């Protein structure tokens, strides 16, 4: 009894960011336990610990990289576990846990409110429970509408029960930016939704679910409650403007690059909405309507850049986050202009936030390079394939040039760790850097060092 109480007190004493990391680890291990069961996989016997761990991590971290085709490998039980892990990972571990607390009638204490605030990247503690409830309702409503729209295409093609199941699975997976699909077969695995690349309803429904899920919960609140762009917070304005710029530029460039390649034979309108789809899916969604492995090098490079940037903070997406990228970009511009301040849309950005953004940016690059190096050492693929896989794992995207199923053990472990760090690392890092602005009681003498 004393040990149980001691364990509870230990968890309560953890700071919010550390508690989130621990919660992610627990969710991954629980998911691994269920997926390793013999009845979770269609093949005889267990799929193996590392394959189950890889899949559970990919689901909880809403990545979508898979070592085995989801539809042809996992039973209904296994697919259900994966879907639950996706939903938990998309909402956020602490948000999902708090949902059960509210269902059971428990009131949220200060610690729970602080943890939810941290997981949602909310700026104020006041109103965090109200925002949390709104997120739960909005999430299930949006996923429900997405499932109904997809059902208009999937039910006629696959039958009522199978079509409805596919509609629900892909709506949740798309909104949570997970990238898992259940369209593959034993004869044709890892097809994602390439079979629907000429179906406007399917492509645009899934695309919009990506975008909505990737905006972030704080942005939702601003858009719904304020509605006028000029009155939005700076955070919301930057997210919206940067999102539009990246989507439009990505659509135009992919349209040009892939016009006569993977989109050869399509009509103009089909090329346009498939280009749009592949401009938004690298924002950590992971679905694909075009074969990524057949894309031109310039298209793959552009996709890697978009994967690295990712979605908005507090969203279902990953990457370094679109606001981090914008702050780093403006910080460089400010330095070139010899300005001591970083200003965005007539607002000054705190030096602490700038330092956090720069730290996250360079830690992310270092992690991608390290993962790429490990993949190359394990002979996982060519340099292009390995760095694409590493960026996809860090950005929790799920797009791949096709090397994931054949990854050696060292490669699987490296990608598993990268997916986990990509999902929780920047968040934990941001909190650990909050004391950067605090002044020390002393300072060291200045030293001279040349750079550049």
Taking every pair of Cα atoms in the chain, the longest distance, rounded to a whole number of angstroms, is 74
Indicate the SS3 state at residue 74. strand
Q: Do 217 and 120 form a contact (C-beta atoms < 8 A)? A: yes
**Structure confidence by residue, pLDDT tens digits, 26-70:** 889 999 999 999 899 988 777 889 999 999 999 998 888 999 999
Q: Which residues contact 192 (CB under 8 A, 6 or more apart)?
A: 179, 181, 183, 287, 288, 289
Instruction: For the chain, give every domain's residue range.
Output: 13-433
pLDDT band at 409 (very low <50, low <70, confident <90, very high): very high
pLDDT for res 109: 53
Kindly state the percentage of the chain with pLDDT values over 90: 54
**Structure confidence by residue, pLDDT tens digits, 186-236:** 888 899 999 999 999 999 999 999 899 888 877 887 888 787 888 888 888
pLDDT for res 393: 94
Separation in Å, CA 283 to CA 94, 205, 213, 279, 351: 23, 16, 10, 8, 27
pLDDT band at 108 (very low <50, low <70, confident <90, very high): low
- Residue 349 host element (H or E): strand 347-349
Q: Locate 250 and state its tokens.
A: 């990505």
Helices 110-120 and 93-103 cross at an angle (nearest 10°) of 140
Q: Do 392 and 398 form a contact (C-beta atoms < 8 A)? A: yes
Q: Locate 6 and state its tokens.
A: 């001691």
pLDDT band at 120 (very low <50, low <70, confident <90, very high): low
**Structure confidence by residue, pLDDT tens digits, 73-92:** 999 999 999 999 998 888 76
pLDDT band at 104 (very low <50, low <70, confident <90, very high): very low
Q: Do 389 and 375 form a contact (C-beta atoms < 8 A)? A: yes
Q: Locate 368 and state its tokens.
A: 């991608």
- What is the CB-side half-sphere exposure of residue 355 using CA atoms within 13 A? 11
Phi, psi of 330 (to 5 degrees): -70, -30
Q: How far apart are CA 328 and CA 320, in angstroms?
A: 11
pLDDT for res 112: 54
Indicate the SS3 state at residue 449. coil
Query: In 10 A of CB 315, how many CB atoms?
Result: 29
127 pLDDT more than 60: no
More confident residue, 129 or 236: 236
pLDDT for res 135: 78
What does the mean pLDDT of the chain come to? 84
Interval 264-286 mean pLDDT = 92
**Structure confidence by residue, pLDDT tens digits, 309-351:** 998 887 777 889 899 999 999 999 998 988 888 999 888 999 8
pLDDT band at 103 (very low <50, low <70, confident <90, very high): very low
118 pLDDT more than 60: no
Tell me whether strands 347-349 and 342-344 are parallel, antiparallel or unpaired: antiparallel
Query: In 10 A of CB 100, how many CB atoms?
Result: 9
Q: Is 91 exposed, middle or buried (0-12, 13-18, 19+ CB in 10 A)?
A: buried
Q: Locate 345 and state its tokens.
A: 């849309």
Query: 173, 184, 123: which is closest to 146 by C-alpha?
Result: 173
Kindly state the percentage of the chain with pLDDT values over 70: 82
pLDDT band at 4 (very low <50, low <70, confident <90, very high): very low
Q: Which residues contact 201 (CB under 8 A, 6 or more apart)?
A: 149, 150, 152, 153
Separation in Å, CA 271 to CA 202, 247, 265, 274, 291: 15, 15, 9, 5, 14
**Structure confidence by residue, pLDDT tens digits, 417-448:** 999 888 876 556 555 444 444 555 667 787 76
């Amino acid at each position: 009894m004393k040990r149980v109480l001691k364990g509870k007190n230990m968890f309560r004493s953890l700071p919010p960011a550390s508690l989130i990391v621990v919660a992610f680890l627990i969710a991954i291990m629980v998911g691994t336990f269920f997926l390793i069961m013999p009845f979770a996989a269609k093949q005889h016997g267990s799929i193996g610990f590392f394959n189950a761990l890889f899949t559970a991590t990919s689901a909880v971290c809403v990545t979508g990289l898979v070592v085995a085709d989801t539809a042809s490998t996992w039973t209904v039980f296994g697919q259900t576990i994966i879907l639950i892990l996706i939903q938990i990972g998309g909402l956020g571990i602490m948000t999902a846990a708090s949902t059960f607390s509210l269902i059971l009638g428990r009131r949220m204490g200060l610690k729970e409110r602080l943890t939810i605030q941290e997981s949602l990247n909310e700026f104020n503690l006041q109103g965090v429970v109200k925002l949390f409830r709104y997120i739960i309702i909005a999430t299930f409503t949006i996923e429900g509408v997405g499932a109904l729209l997809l059902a208009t295409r999937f039910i006629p093609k696959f039958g009522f029960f199978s079509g409805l199941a596919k509609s629900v699975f892909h709506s949740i997976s798309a909104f949570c930016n997970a990238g898992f699909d259940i369209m593959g077969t034993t004869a044709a695995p890892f097809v994602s939704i390439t079979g629907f690349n000429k179906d406007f309803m399917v492509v645009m429904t899934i695309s919009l679910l990506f975008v909505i899920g990737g905006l972030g919960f704080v942005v939702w609140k601003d858009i719904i409650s304020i509605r006028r762009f000029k009155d939005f917070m700076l955070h919301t304005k930057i997210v919206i403007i940067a999102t539009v710029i990246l989507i439009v530029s990505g659509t135009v460039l992919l349209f040009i690059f892939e016009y006569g390649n993977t989109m050869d034979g399509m009509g103009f309108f089909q090329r346009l909405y498939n280009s749009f789809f592949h401009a938004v899916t690298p924002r950590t969604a992971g679905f694909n309507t075009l074969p990524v492995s057949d894309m031109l090098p310039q298209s793959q490079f552009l996709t890697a850049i978009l994967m690295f940037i990712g979605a908005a903070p507090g969203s279902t997406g990953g990457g370094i986050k679109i606001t981090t990228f914008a702050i780093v970009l403006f910080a460089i511009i400010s330095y070139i202009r010899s300005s001591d301040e970083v200003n965005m849309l007539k607002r000054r950005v705190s030096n602490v936030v700038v330092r956090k953004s720069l730290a996250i940016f360079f830690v992310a690059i270092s992690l991608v390079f390290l993962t790429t190096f490990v993949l190359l050492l394990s002979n996982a693929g060519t340099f292009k394939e390995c760095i694409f896989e590493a960026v996809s794992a860090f950005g929790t995207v799920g797009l791949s040039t096709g090397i994931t199923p054949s990854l050696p053990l060292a490669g699987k472990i490296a990608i598993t760790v990268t997916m986990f760090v990509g999902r929780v690392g920047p968040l934990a890092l941001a909190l650990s850097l909050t004391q950067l602005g605090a002044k020390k009681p002393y300072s060291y003498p200045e030293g001279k060092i040349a750079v550049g």
